[in-house]
Amino acid sequence: MTTVHTVPQTARADTRMVPSFAVIPGDQVKEVLQGREKTVVEVVEATYRLHGAGRTVNPPSSFLRFPDRPTARIIALPASLGGEGGEGGVDGLKWISSCPANVASGIPRASAVLILNDPVTGYPFACMESSIISAARTAASAASAADRLSRGRPRPTRLGFVGAGLIARYIHTYLEGTGWSFDAIGVHDLSPDSAAGFRTYLEQSGAVGRVTVHGSAEELIRLSDLIVFATVADRPHITEPSWFRHNPVVLHVSLRDLAPEVLLGATNVVDDIDHCLRAATSPHLTERLTGNRDFLLGTLDDVMAGRVTVPADRPAVFSPFGLGVLDLAVGGYVYDEVARSGGLQVIDHFFHELSRHG
């Protein structure tokens, strides 16, 4: 099993010393992660096991919203990962913004930074571009769920994407990078330009199988046995359980697409129950409707550990809230790899007041 990588012990061997501070830009992050999809999935699965064993701290995310910009938000995800008494672990914060209006300007909706903190001194030791880390950990989580939830049923051969942005692209990359291939790939997006752009990406990436842009979500869902929801929907827009009668595996990454009626007709797996059942997610709305959590089978860690079994005679839906500890784990892996290569861009004298009394 791949271990979760964190800041090397040598960086904080003397706890009286303040660690150096490095900035890791997006090109270095991408260079580390590109082509290592299987390794990143292993890092994410190892982190789920740590989280399931209670060796993480992952408080609720904090949402900064704006009365004059109701579609925009910035989310803070604080977390602490592994280690005993601070040794061998890492603390930190992902600060990620979502501005859907960016898409009209041709730039991605989301941008992010990740701060890594030394748990011994509390000092931050790295600031990293994190939209790539966030997309990679999301895609790795989805790829893991696709594999685990597909076991015991015919392996899906028809892939469908509802939502055709950067996250969809990363999920496709991680599915292919972990050994998936498909006879057909469907795309549906409310923006014809986004759907056409994603189709072009798929064709140019050498994706095996025909690529079809569907005019409706219903058509795509009925013709796909592995379905990815990666939209910016803020409320359920898929309300008909009969569209899922063929029992597909559903990666409900955007969390708010499916009406409670759909979830109640499915087997439901989440990444963390308490996190997922909040903030008006589809599972949260389902809990409000039913007054209980009986519709949940368990977590992805439960599935990996064999504590629960996913039946093949119902749709299987994975709804991940997205855990800050995953960002820490993937960010720590990137930090280690950049440090090992000698490529850390250290900011000299970043911390100035290092004497309590001057």
pLDDT tens-digit readout, 339-356? 999 999 999 889 887 777
Amino acid letter, 237: H
Tally of CA atoms within 13 A in the half-sphere of 139 that contains its CB: 27
Question: Can you give the length of the chain in residues?
Answer: 358
pLDDT of residue 87: 56
| Residue written as token pair 């990740």 | 114
Q: How far is CA 286 from CA 140, 149, 244, in A?
A: 26, 21, 17
pLDDT of residue 7: 46
Domain 9-133+324-346 identical in fold to domain 142-319: no
pLDDT band of 208, cuts 50, 70, 90: confident
What is the domain class of 142-319 according to CATH?
alpha beta
* Structure tokens that stand for 278 in this block: 């909040």
**C-alpha–C-alpha distance, residues 198 and 169, integer Å:** 8
* Structure tokens that stand for 156 in this block: 């899906």
Closest CA to 293 of 316, 314, 264, 326: 264
Closest CA to 236 of 288, 304, 271: 288
Which residues, 6+ apart, have CB-to-CB distance to 177 below 8 Å? 35, 37, 38, 143
Rg (CA), the chain: 21
Instruction: Report the share of the chain in percent with pLDDT over 90.
Output: 83
pLDDT of residue 1: 43
* Structure tokens that stand for 307 in this block: 């504590």
For residue 152, pLDDT over 90 is answered with: yes
Judge whether 141 and 228 are in contact, CB under 8 Å: no
Span 6-26, average pLDDT: 66
Q: How many C-beta atoms lie closer than 10 Å to residue 179's C-beta?
A: 10
Closest CA to 197 of 220, 221, 166: 166
Q: Which CATH architecture has domain 9-133+324-346?
A: 2-Layer Sandwich (3.30)
Judge whether 357 and 33 are in contact, CB under 8 Å: no
Give the pairing of strands 296-299 and 267-270: parallel
Least trusted range by pLDDT, from 15-19, 71-75, 201-205, 218-222: 15-19
State the maximum Cα–Cα separation within the chain, in Å, rounded to a whole number.
Answer: 70
| Whole-structure pTM value | 0.92
**C-alpha–C-alpha distance, residues 76 and 97, integer Å:** 9
pLDDT of residue 108: 85
Give the pairing of strands 267-270 and 316-319: parallel
**Domain extents in the chain:** 9-133+324-346, 142-319
For residue 85, pLDDT over 70 is answered with: no
Handedness of CA 34, 173, 230, 4 (dihedral sign): negative
* Structure tokens that stand for 328 in this block: 């820490």
pLDDT tens-digit readout, 277-326? 999 999 999 999 999 999 999 999 999 999 999 999 999 999 999 999 99
